[in-house]
Structures are given as structure tokens and as C-alpha cells.
Amino acid sequence: MTTPSNPSDKESSVTHDSTSEAGDDRALVSLEHREGSDNLPERFQDPGLPAHIHRAGDSDEAAARRYERQVAALFAISMFATVLFVVSYFAVGNDTVVSLPIIGRTMALHVSLGVTLGMSLLCIGLGAIHWAKTLMPDTEVVEERHELRSPDEAREGAVKILADGLEGSQLKRRPLIKYTLGGALGLFAIPLGLQLVGSLGPLPHTDLETTLWDSKLPGGKPRRLMRDPDGTAIRLSDVTLGSVFHVLPEGIDATPDPNNEKLKAAVILISLQENLIKSARERKWGVDGVVAYSKICTHVGCPVGLYEQTTHHLLCPCHQSTFDLTEDCKVIFGPAKRALPQLKISVDDEGYLVADHGFDQPVGPSFWERA
Amino acid sequence: MSSLAARRRHPAALVIVLLFGLIVTGGLYAALAPKNADAATSSSSDIAAGKQLFLSNCATCHGVNATGGNEAPDLVGVGAAAVDFQVGTGRMPLAAPGIQAEADTNGPQFDNKQISQLAAYVASLGPGPGIPASDLTSGGGDIAKGGELFRVNCAMCHNFAGSGGALTRGKFAPSLMDVSGKHMYEAMETGPQSMPVFNNTNMSPTDKKDIISFLQNTKDEPNQGGANLGNLGPVPEGLFVWTIGIGLLIGAAVWLGRKAA
């Protein structure tokens, strides 16, 4: 810092500022660059470290003994809390419920174990810090830094050791060893990488493009729409106006991996007034205003389940992507980029809703090489 | 017939007719009064009283014939359940136009008798769902099944613990923690406002009973892990950790770094 630090100079500048409101020209004067006066020292002295302030315990033996007792008391509280932890582990019942302020009704065992363990650990920490702050030496210590570079003789010596080693290994004279060693070390990387890449699981093949709706039942019949989780079939007459059914394909529990199938095949079945539907395709693929859409969000695959009966909006709970059910589930808000795929449904000869064929596009979020 | 007509002026005739009337009235009362739940057995006087209440409190929006208006829906065929839910939770009469009708924290504006009269009048306009029987709404169902049904059908809006959640444009699904079983049942049955309909062809009365039992159990369950911060999920929990949790850590770090003297 080389700003003028002459006290008298500073003083005058302050008084000047305080009167500067009198006129604009005077205020301008104070903004001008001002040369420092000549009585600056040639060199500023290193102020050094601030004076060391002694603590009470450094000079007063009685105070030091008091600190000792305080630290010991903290450690003793920790021991007491640990004993309480063990006692409450055995003494407090598994089902005992206590009412606490703010928290409300909660498990007595969890509270007692948590509080005693916390007290035990906290008092060890507090005791150690109090000990270090009041009794351990607190004098400032200077540690000089050394040059990191080794002396030249040591550096040359190290290079010579390496060169001698290379010469002694005869790698230069016997290239066969050099190349076979390189090959052996290089190939050794393969087993390490192979278990990583090879254990990534089976290739997806067409798993991402197809759902259980694409396949028929063993008898060749189309799959019915079944209530989740009951697994009961749905009649068209069951779906009254404003109703929402959460649907899975018939026979999903008979597949080898039902959970994987549910991830893709979940469908939401909604009934709305047919004249509200603006998309002709949507009307055609539904039955009397009852339409079925994939429940898997096209953003990152959350289940799109929030249906607002009054606005006909279908909302994803994860990132608020909103789909308009009257316009073929077009995205009207949020991060999703594609409309939800529709499932073409019809009524079979027994009056139950069935899926005519699978979705016409992959369900769920985008993936590599999605058509 | 002629002999009956001939004796109509007999001194005992008045007594016999009175007795007959009393027996019929008493018998009918005994037959109909106990099942006060579903049947609602609204007498014509209830319907008339309900109509008066309707005309003075509801007709401005819903029309004098309850066939709806610009903003208000047609009430023909909504049934007693819809009235009992909307008026019984204080949602109707609507306090002020807003994004959605909210339950009145001060309770309903009418007493139970007036609500049942209004319900009787609206139910008389067209067949609709009635008020559920109390054995379906007071718990005692299969809690595990109810939890599964709740997570599939309800949790996306009402939160995994029934604490409620946000919908679009300021609308929200309310918390279910302080809602009576009867009102939950009626809401599922009728689908008020943004809520879809879960009537008996979608979800059987036993299913609804299971869901109500699950929610009543959830409410009574003690918090396993201490303060639940409203069971609202990651946002309040993150907020708590980022403000109070990190604040405490900074305080501890400042204290550790200070000199004792």
C-alpha cells in the first residue's frame, strides 16, 4: 500500500469533504489526484505478529486446575451418556411412544438412543477442544520454509542410478525382452477392462422399443386392460365420466420379470367427454371418449399420474411436465419433449376393454438410437 | 265394503282409524329409521326445507332449478354424497371465487341437520351416490391393501403420506390427515373439483374402506425418525439441512478457529 498515510494530510481531506456540499467546484477539488507529502518513510517496517496475550491458565495455577476440572467433567458426562445409551438400549421398550414438543409422537427408544449417543460424542469433542484451547500451548511458532529443489549433486546421482539400472537390465541389447514385456503388460489390461464391460448385463435388443402390449396372450387373444394392483378386468361400462384407472396388461404376473414389464407397460385409462377431444386419431383409438395412454413420462420416465378432471391436464409429479388430454396428450408445459404414446383400445365380445396392438412408438424417455 | 261403509259412523271407528294410523307410522319409522346412513330416507319436509336453504344460499350460482350456471356445475344427479362433502367440509357455499374451493378452517356454515336437508333436496333432483354407511368409513379394513391402492391411485397427488401436494396453476391436492373417513369416501365417490372419480365400478366399497383405514393408521403412527418436517419430501428436508444444518456447522467451525485468549 502506498497511499498517503500522513495523519495531518488525511485530516485535511476529511474536513474538505465535509464542507464540499457548499459548492460543486469545491467537491471536484477533493476528487483530484493529490501528491503525498515528502515525509513518507523510505521503507515500511514489518509490523510482525501481534503481541501474545496470555491466557488465565498460563500464569494462574488455580485457573489451570479449573480448566482441568471442566475438561474432565465433559469427559465424565460423555461416559455417563454412554452408560445411559446402554441402559436405554435394554430398558426402553420397542413400542414405547412418547410425545415431544415440535416433533410430536415418536418412538421413545429412537429418541433415547439418539440423544445419549449424541451427548456422548459431543462431550468428547467439546472436552478435547476446551482442553486444546485452555491448557495446550498456544504460543505462535515460526517454521522456516526450505528450498524444495535438491542440490545438483543429488540430482545427478539420481539420474546416474536410473541410467545404471537401465544398462544393467540389458533392455537395449536384448530387444526381445523389451517387446515381450510390453506385450504382456499391455494385454494384462484386457482382463481388468473385460470384467467391467462384460458385466454390464445383456444387450437390450428391442426391449426399449417393445412392451408387453405388443404380444398377444398364449391363446392368441389380445391382452385385456387390468386394474393395478387388483388385476381385475375393466368393462367399458365401469369407466364412468371423469374416472381414472391405473392399468397393467393382462398376464403381466406370468412373465419372467413382472417388474421390468410394469416399468414399460403401465397405462392410465381416462374417461372424458368425447366431444372435447380435438384429435381425430385420439377419438378413433379410444372408445366413446375412454382413452388409454402410456403412464411413463417422455422426459425421464416417471409415472404420469396426476389427472385434473376439470382441466383435462395430465401432470407428471417429478418435473411438472403437463400433457393435454384433449389434444392427444401434447406437451403444454414442462421439460418433456414428446406427447405420451396412446394405446389403441376396443371392447371384446364379453364387454371388457382390450388393447388392439402395442404402442406405435417406444414409450418413456429418449434413448440412444431411438427412431 | 258396504258393511265397512255402514259402520263408518260407529263410535269406535275414530279410535280404530287413529290406532291404525299410529301403527302404520310407528312400523314405518321402525323399519326405516335405523339405517339413517345410505337411505337418507328424506321426508318430503326435509326436501322442502332443503329447497328453501338451496334457494337462499346456492341458487345464485347453481340456478333456481340447480341446473348450473356459467361457473357452477349442474347438480342434477350429483347425489347426496357430493352435497355432504362440499357443504360438510365448508367448501360450499364458496367464500370467494378462486382457483379452487378450499375447505373452510372454521368448519361448515350449516349444521348437520341443514346439510342433510340440502343433501335430501339435491338427491331428490336425480339419482346419485348417497352418503356412505358408517361401517365403510370408520376404519378396520386391510391396511396393507389400502396402502397399495393408495400408492397406485392417490399418492401422486396427495403425497405418499397423505400430506397433499401441488397441482398446476396454484391448485393443490389437500392434506388428508384431518379429513374424516366419511368425507374421504364421498370425495372418492364423487370426484370433487380437479379430483378424478373413483366410484364403485372403479374401486369397490371395500377398497375405499381399506384406503381410509390406511390413512387413519398413517395419521396415528408415531414418527420413527423424529421430526418429519411435514412429510413433504425432499424440498423441506433439503431446506432444513442447507439452512439450519449448514448454519450449525459454520458456527462450530468459527468457534473452533477462535483463539481462547
Per-residue pLDDT tens over the stretch A173-185: 899 999 999 999 9
Q: Which residue has the cell 468457534?
A: B255
Query: Which residues are within 8 A (CB) of A20 and not within 5 positions of it... i.e. 6 or more apart?
Result: A26, A27, A30
Indicate if the pLDDT at residue A13 is higher than 80: no
Of the candidate CATH numbers 1.10.600.10, 1.10.760.10, 3.30.365.10, 2.60.40.10, the domain formed by B44-125 belongs to 1.10.760.10
Query: Residue A26's pLDDT is what?
Result: 47
So what's the pLDDT on residue A248? 94
User: Which of these ranges, A196-205, B31-40, B93-102, has the smallest mean pLDDT?
Assistant: B31-40
**Cβ contacts of A37 within 8 Å, gap of 6 or more:** A4, A6, A9
Q: Do B168 and A322 touch (CB under 8 A)?
A: yes
CB of A114 within 8 Å of a chain B CB? The answer is yes
Which amino acid belongs to residue A308?
E
Could you say which residues from 155 to 214 on chain A have a Cβ atom under 8 Å away from some Cβ of chain B? Answer: none
Binding site as annotated, residues of B: 58, 61-62, 154, 157-158
- Residues within 8 A of A (CB atoms), B 14-73 only: none
Q: What is the model's pLDDT at position A32?
A: 56
Q: Which three cell numbers stand for residue B77?
A: 344427479
Q: Give the nearest partner residue to A106 out of B153, B226, B256, using CB atoms.
A: B226
The residues, any chain, with a CB within 8 Å of residue A102's CB and separated by 6 or more, are B227
Q: Is A204 left (phi over 0), alpha (psi -120 to 50) or beta?
A: alpha
Mean pLDDT score, A102-130 = 93
Mean pLDDT of B202-230: 89
Question: Residue positions of B in the annotated binding site for heme c?
Answer: 58, 61-62, 154, 157-158
All residues at 6 or more sequence positions from B150 whose CB lies less than 8 Å from its CB, including other chains: B162, B211, B214, B215
Contact flag A245-B256 (C-beta cutoff 8 Å): no
Residues 6 or more apart whose CB falls under 8 angstroms from that of A226 comprise A232, A233, A234, A247, A248, A249, A250, A252
Check residues B101 and A65 and name the one with the higher pLDDT.
A65
Q: Tell me if A297 sits within 8 A of A334, measured CB to CB.
A: no
Contacts A110 to B, Cβ<8 Å: 224-226
Residue spans of the domains in chain B: they are 2-31, 44-125, 134-221
For A243, the closest of B148, B202, B228 (CB atoms) is: B202
Q: How many CB atoms lie within 10 A of CB B63?
A: 15
Q: Nearest CA to CA, how far is B209 from chain A (Å)?
A: 15
Burial bucket for residue B167 (CB in 10 Å: 0-12, 13-18, 19+): buried
- Residues of A with Cβ-Cβ distance to B165 under 8 angstroms: 317
| Closest chain A CA to residue B260 | A133
Q: Tell whether the model's pLDDT for residue A217 goes beyond 80.
A: yes
> What gap in Å lies between CA B34 and CA B238, rounded to an integer?
53
SS3 A55: coil
Helix (H, G, I), strand (E, B) or coil at B137: helix
Q: If pLDDT is split at 50, 70 and 90, which confidence band does B10 have?
A: confident
- The H-or-E segment that residue B236 falls in is helix B234-240
Residue with cell 354424497: B81
Q: Please state the rounded mean pLDDT for residues B169-191.
A: 91
Spell out the residues 6+ positions from residue B39 whose beta carbon is closer than 8 angstroms to its own: B32, B130
Comparing CB atoms, the residue among A138, A307, A317 nearest residue B260 is: A138
Q: Other C-beta atoms within 10 Å of B60: how many?
A: 12
Other CB atoms within 10 A of residue A153 CB: 8
Query: pLDDT-derived band of residue A94, with 50, 70 and 90 as boundaries?
Result: confident
Say whether B134-221 and B44-125 share the same fold. Answer: yes
**Span A90-101, mean pLDDT?**
89
pLDDT for residue A5 = 43
How many CB atoms sit inside 10 A of residue B55's CB? 13
Q: What is the pLDDT of residue B21?
A: 85
> In this structure, what C-alpha cell is assigned to residue B120?
335430501
What would the pLDDT profile of A254-310 be if each residue is shown by its tens digit? 899 899 899 999 999 999 999 999 999 999 999 999 999 999 999 999 999 899 988
Are A287 and A345 in contact by the 8 Å Cβ rule? The answer is yes
A291 - beta bridge partners?
A270
Cα B93 from chain centre: 15
B191 at the A interface (CB within 8 A)? yes
Please list, in sequence order, all residues whose beta carbon lies within 8 angstroms of the beta carbon of residue B170, skipping any fewer than 6 positions away: B99, B100
Chain A residues whose CB is inside 8 A of the B168 CB are 308, 311, 313, 315, 320, 322, 333
Reference A291, options A308, A310, A307, A272; nearest CA is A272
Closest CA to A319 of A340, A338, A304: A304
**Cα angle B21, B24, B25; round to 5:** 85
% of chain A residues with pLDDT over 70: 90
Contact B141/B210 with Cβ under 8 angstroms? yes
Q: Is the pLDDT of residue A104 over 90?
A: no
CB contact under 8 A, A311 and B168: yes
Q: For residue A311, which residues of chain B lie inside 8 Å, CB to CB? A: 168, 194
Q: Nearest chain B residue to A51 by CA: give it.
A: B261
User: Is the CA virtual torsion A230, A235, A237, A241 positive or negative?
Assistant: positive
Side chain identity, residue A69: R
Tell me what pLDDT residue A336 has: 93
What confidence score (pLDDT) does residue B249 get?
A: 95
Q: What's the CA gap between B260 and A135, in Å, rounded?
A: 10
B152 neighbors B207 (Cβ within 8 angstroms): no
Q: Name the residue type at position A253.
A: D
Whether residues B168 and A237 touch (CB distance < 8 A) is answered with: no
Full strand arrangement of the beta sheet holding A342-343: A225-227, A244-249, A267-271, A290-294, A342-343
* Contact state of B201 with A111 under an 8 Å Cβ cutoff: no
Q: Is the pLDDT of residue A34 over 70?
A: no
Q: Write out chain B residues lying below 8 Å of A55, CB-based.
A: 260-261
pLDDT of residue A18: 40
Per-residue pLDDT reduced to its tens digit, A327-341 = 999 999 999 999 999
Question: How far apart are the C-alpha atoms of A147 and B243, rounded to whole Å?
Answer: 45
SS3 of A365, please? coil
Q: pLDDT band at residue B33, thresholds of 50, 70 and 90?
A: low
Q: Which three cell numbers stand for residue B217?
A: 393408521
Tell me the residues of chain B between 148 and 167 that have a Cβ less than 8 Å away from chain A.
Answer: 148-149, 152-153, 156-157, 165, 167
With respect to CATH, is domain B134-221 assigned 1.10.760.10?
yes
Residue B31 has a pLDDT of 66
Q: What confidence score (pLDDT) does residue A7 get? A: 42
Span A76-90, mean pLDDT?
97
Contact A340, A323 (CB under 8 A): yes
Tell me if chain A has a CB within 8 Å of the CB of B205. Answer: no
* pLDDT value of position B65: 84
Beta strands A345-347; A97-100: pairing state: unpaired
Measured distance between the N- and C-terminal CA atoms of chain B, rounded to whole angstroms: 118
The answer to whether residues A103 and B226 touch, using CB atoms and an 8 Å cutoff, is yes
Sign of CA dihedral A333, A338, A344, A345: negative
In the predicted model, is pLDDT for residue B28 greater than 60?
yes
Mean pLDDT of chain A: 87
A276 grid coordinates: 372435447
Query: Between β-strands A353-355 and B165-166, what pairing exists: parallel, antiparallel or unpaired?
Result: unpaired
Model confidence band, residue B60 (pLDDT cutoffs 50, 70, 90):
confident
Distance of alpha carbon A270 from alpha carbon A246, whole angstroms: 9
Looking at chain B, the whole-number percentage of residues with pLDDT higher than 70 is: 92
Q: Does A129 contact B at CB distance below 8 Å?
A: yes
pLDDT for residue A14: 40
Nearest to A101 by CA among B133, B226, B89, B67: B226
A290 min Cα distance to partner chain B (Å):
14
- CB pair distance less than 8 Å for A242 and B196: yes
Is the confidence at residue A359, as pLDDT, over 70?
A: yes
Residues A337 and A366: beta-carbon distance below 8 Å: yes
pLDDT, averaged across chain B? 85
Q: Check if B200 contacts A (Cβ < 8 Å).
A: no
pLDDT value for A165: 93
Provide the pLDDT confidence category of residue A65 given band limits of 50, 70 and 90.
Answer: very high
- Gap between the Cα atoms of B50 and B133, Å rounded: 21
Q: B116-146 pLDDT, tens per residue?
A: 888 888 888 888 888 898 888 888 899 999 9
Q: What 3-state DSSP class applies to A107?
A: strand
Task: Give the span between the Cα atoms of A195 and A264, in whole angstroms.
Answer: 29
- Whether the pLDDT of residue A364 is over 70: the answer is yes
Residue B8 in this model has a pLDDT that exceeds 50: yes
- The pLDDT score that the predictor gives to residue A330 is 94
Q: What percent of chain B has pLDDT over 90?
A: 26
CA distance A129 to A107: 33
User: Which residues from chain A sit within 8 angstroms of residue B197, using beta carbons?
Assistant: 240-244, 309
In eight-state DSSP terms, residue A235 is B
- pLDDT band of B71, cuts 50, 70, 90: confident
How far apart CA A316 and CA A306 sit, in angstroms, is: 6
